[in-house]
Chain A
């Protein structure tokens, strides 16, 4: 949907294992985001990136890492340091033009990845 793909749809992690969630967009958006959604809660920002080779921590970055080597791709790694990784992970993108700087952009979300711990 909206030119953003996430894979896999479901992911299982074993104890002590790092797993990587994929996010790709073909909307030519500069900014990309990772959110975590838990039942009964809103979306919490993990990391965001405004431009290639640059990214910033969000509210709950501990136990996660990201990279932004290409404009189209913003993979998220859930490391073994994340003690409670079971959640629905959503990737989003938005244009970073004047609209973003003025805070008037729209975020387009991918279909999400459900991560479960075995």
Chain B
């Protein structure tokens, strides 16, 4: 079945530094979504990518969908303490939205 894998599982970042989290699928996806879950909270939708090679930006966050539509990345520049949380990618194939295990981000001030 479809599997979505995320790396790294944990990301410890110095405030002000950049980092990237990666998402890989075993199958071609029709779209990929990214969610953020703050500690103790619930996932909140960030963005959706649909087209091959698509790149979208939200302030310091840059999301990319691979050409083969099997991988995606989230790059955060100038990390801030507000970026703390777990970032999930979720890939859609047919009816099913499969979530990765998430990248949990902590920030050192």
Q: Interface on A for B, CB 8 Å cutoff?
A: 1, 35, 40-45, 59, 90, 102-104, 106-112
Say yes or no for B4: interface residue by CB 8 A criterion: yes
Confirm or deny: B31 has a beta carbon within 8 angstroms of a beta carbon on chain A: yes
A41, B101: Cβ atoms under 8 Å?
yes
A-B CB contacts (within 8 Å), total count? 47
Secondary structure dominating the interface of B: strand
A45 to B92, CA, bound (A): 13
On chain B, the residues within 8 Å of A109 by CB distance are 42-44
Given B45, B50, B88, which contacts A104 in the complex, CB threshold below 8 Å? B50
Given A35-B99, A41-B101, A109-B44, 19 new contacts (CB under 8 A): A1-B42, A40-B9, A42-B6, A42-B100, A42-B102, A43-B88, A45-B96, A45-B97, A90-B42, A102-B30, A103-B30, A103-B92, A104-B31, A104-B50, A107-B33, A107-B90, A107-B97, A108-B45, A109-B43
